Amino acid sequence: MKKTGKLFGVGVGPGDPELITVKAVRVIKEADIVFTAASSKNKYSLAVEIASPYIAPEARIEHLGFPMTKDAGEVEAAWIANAKQIAAALEQGLTAVFLTLGDPTTYSTFGYVLKKMKCIKPDADIETIPGITSFHAASARLNRILVEGEESLLVTSGAFGGDKIRQVKQVENVAIVKAYKNITDINMALKDGGFHANGVAVSKCGRKNEEIIESLDALETREPDYWTLILASK
Ligand SMILES: C[S@@+](CC[C@H](N)C(=O)[O-])C[C@H]1O[C@@H](n2cnc3c(N)ncnc32)[C@H](O)[C@@H]1O
């Protein structure tokens, strides 16, 4: 009987090579083929670098092109092509992993893979292996409690500025990923909501060149790195 393949969406953690789970390591070791998203311009993948001690020497590594464009049609077409490539591997009976930084269910390219696989190969056997998110790694790095008691936590993207923060009234804590642009507007929203005073930014948490930026105002006078997040509380 023909062996059926399986896809694992694997989170490899935020960058510290020790923040990868035992389960992720086992699944990566067993993979015949390793997929990762790569910008069409640059094939480097930090996720593959983190996983590399565990990738079997005979495993194939495939970089799936991820166009850096706002053209939704182009992005859609690329992910359909990528999902077809993954589906072809499963049809050959291969065990495949799709590696992502942090956690695969949190602002991850694995979201595109899951959605497109559901259309292209609805019977595919898929398992998601969670990873440590960037904001959990950052709060641990700072020995800072993310949320406690009956409080709530807003996890949001800062890419379009502070509007999401303005919209919430009943939340005591915020974790803002993609805090690399519109910082002035994010800071204004944090000030209006009473979050700003103890806010802190962490860039490249757990990686070489990690930075802890204690003053959020200081973020406005420099161009924050893409790998920057903000933690703030009332
Ligand atoms: C596309 S999201 C990926 C989130 C990831 N899946 C997770 O679980 O954390 C990218 C954003 O995550 C944050 N991020 C990821 N890794 C980080 C790190 N090591 N240090 C600080 N921020 C990080 C940054 O805000 C970055 O803009």
**pLDDT 10s digits, 174-218:** 999 999 999 999 999 999 999 999 999 999 999 999 999 999 999
Sign of CA dihedral 66, 70, 71, 73: positive
Strand-pairing partners, residue 98, are 9, 35
- Is the Cβ atom of 110 under 6 angstroms away from ligand 1? no
Q: Mean pLDDT check: name the lowest of 1-15, 117-131, 144-158, 196-210.
A: 1-15
| 102 pocket-lining for ligand 1 (C-beta < 6 Å) | yes
- pLDDT tens for residues 33-76? 999 998 766 778 899 999 999 999 999 999 998 887 888 888 89
Pocket perturbation via mutation, ligand 1, pick of 114, 227, 228, 231 by most ligand atoms within 8 A of CB: 227
What is the residue with the minimal CA distance to atom 5 of ligand 1?
A: 102
Average pLDDT rounded to a whole number, residues 102-106: 98
- Kindly report the protein residue whose alpha carbon is nearest to atom 10 of ligand 1: 178
Write down the pTM of the prediction: 0.95
What is the SS3 string spanning 79-133?
Answer: HHHHHHHHHHHHHCCCEEEEEECECCCCCCCHHHHHHHHHHHCCCCCEEEECCCC
Question: Taking the CA of residue 123 as centre, how many other CA atoms within 13 Å lie in the half-sphere pointing to its CB?
Answer: 4
Domain residue spans in the chain?
Answer: 6-129, 134-233
Distance 177 CA to ligand 1 centre (A): 6
Q: What is the mean pLDDT of residues 147-159?
A: 97
Q: Decide which of 3.50.40.10, 3.90.650.10, 3.30.950.10, 3.10.129.10 is the CATH code for 134-233.
A: 3.30.950.10
The topology (CATH level 3) of 6-129 is: Cobalt-precorrin-4 Transmethylase; domain 1 (3.40.1010)
Q: What's the gap in Å between 62 CA and the centre of ligand 1?
A: 22
What is the mean predicted confidence (pLDDT) over 104-127? Answer: 96
Rounded distance from Cα 103 to ligand 1 centre (Å): 9
Does the Cβ of 134 fall within 6 Å of ligand 1? yes
Query: Which region, left, alpha or beta, applies to residue 177 given φ > 0 means left and ψ of -120 to 50 means alpha?
Result: beta
The pLDDT-based confidence of 229 (bands split at 50, 70, 90) is: very high
Nearest-CA neighbor of 103 among 61, 79, 137, 80? Answer: 137
Local structure of 216: helix, strand or coil: helix
- The ligand 1 atom at the shortest distance from the C-alpha of residue 159 is 27
Among 197, 191, 195, residue whose Cα is nearest residue 175: 195
Find the angle CA(94)-CA(97)-CA(103) to the nearest 5 degrees.
160
Assess whether the C-beta atom of 47 lies below 6 angstroms from ligand 1: no
